[in-house]
Amino acid sequence: MARHRLDHVDAMRPVKQAGVISTHSVLYFAPMAASTGSGATLLLLHVSREGFFFISACMLTYAYADLNRAGLRRFYWRRFLSVGIPYLCWSVIYFLYSLPTSHYASVTAAFRGLASVVSTGYYQLYFLLVIMQFYLAFPFVLMLLRRTRGYHGHVIAVTVLAQVAIAIGMHWNLFPREMVRFGQQDVVSYPLYLVGGCVVAFHIDQVHAWVCAHARLIVAMTVAAALAAEASTSWPLTSIPGQVIELRFPGAW
């Protein structure tokens, strides 16, 4: 079934893109200027990550709400062409770029390095790695939401609890070390944003009407949440072995 274009969602893309660019710009200078100011700025900019996953899941569901078993092959092929091939190309580009300074002992070691780049998502490529994992799970999420029509509030409640539990487990290193280390590349770390985006797509007209009717309330709650997060989070910046320097706080890894 044809669906009309959501121009107001397209208008959100530059906001997310600006957040991502700003995040990596601050991170680039963080080792020389790890301060309260840079840490506080990164805390707010990291919302671009969750926003990307939320909008991506929402638009995927909006576009493929009628997906059935017969359409799976076409669905995965289109996802591979639009995301998988660019991901592989950029992984190879980054590998070749870093090759002169990597000092691999052998050709075999170099290929292992390339495999590591592809499997872990070099630098910002973890965004695509996560969304590709979600593509694999998407038909099952779609089936769940179809079978729980009328109970999507319950689905969101369970997902919120799961997100909080995962964030706590990541923050306090309660999970296996490898799960914590590669948490930002793991789709399991973002259930609320991915499932939440899918639920919104099922109720896009109602959600749009509610947002327009409560714009001031949303802005006020956003500002209050940002201030509360800044007040409750302790700096400075730390790093996880093998990862880009990141803030260690719940929900961002």
Residues with Cβ < 8 Å from 24, sequence gap 6 or more?
Answer: 123, 124
Tell me the residue range of the domain where 141 lies: 7-76+136-232
pLDDT at 9: 80
Global pTM reads: 0.85
Task: Collapse the DSSP code of 34 into the 3-class scheme (helix H, G, I; strand E, B; otherwise coil) and give the result.
Answer: coil
pLDDT at 35: 66
Residues 162/168/173/179 CA torsion (nearest 10 deg): 30
Give the residue carrying structure tokens 């919104």: 200
Q: Choose among 146, 150, 134: nearest CA to 66.
A: 146
Whether 96 maps to a domain, the answer reads no
pLDDT > 90: what percent of the chain? 63
Whether 154 maps to a domain, the answer reads yes
Q: Rounded distance, CA 112 to CA 26, Å?
A: 31
* Burial (Cβ within 10 Å: 0-12, 13-18, ≥19) of residue 138: buried
Q: Is the pLDDT of residue 71 over 60?
A: yes
Whether 69 maps to a domain, the answer reads yes
pLDDT at 45: 87
Whether 150 maps to a domain, the answer reads yes
Q: Omega before 236 cis (within 30°)?
A: yes
Q: Rounded distance, CA 211 to CA 50, Å?
A: 19
Whether 243 maps to a domain, the answer reads no
Distances (CA, A) of 96 to 43, 83, 93, 101, 102: 32, 20, 5, 10, 10
Q: Is the pLDDT of residue 253 over 50?
A: no
Number of domains in the chain: 1
Task: Collapse the DSSP code of 214 into the 3-class scheme (helix H, G, I; strand E, B; otherwise coil) and give the result.
Answer: coil
Whether 86 maps to a domain, the answer reads no
Higher-pLDDT residue of 132, 24: 132
Q: Is the pLDDT of residue 26 over 90?
A: no
Higher-pLDDT residue of 206, 24: 206
Whether 182 maps to a domain, the answer reads yes
pLDDT at 74: 96
Whether 45 maps to a domain, the answer reads yes
For the segment 163-191, the average pLDDT, to the nearest whole number, is 91
Span 76-97, pLDDT tens digits: 999 999 999 999 999 999 999 9
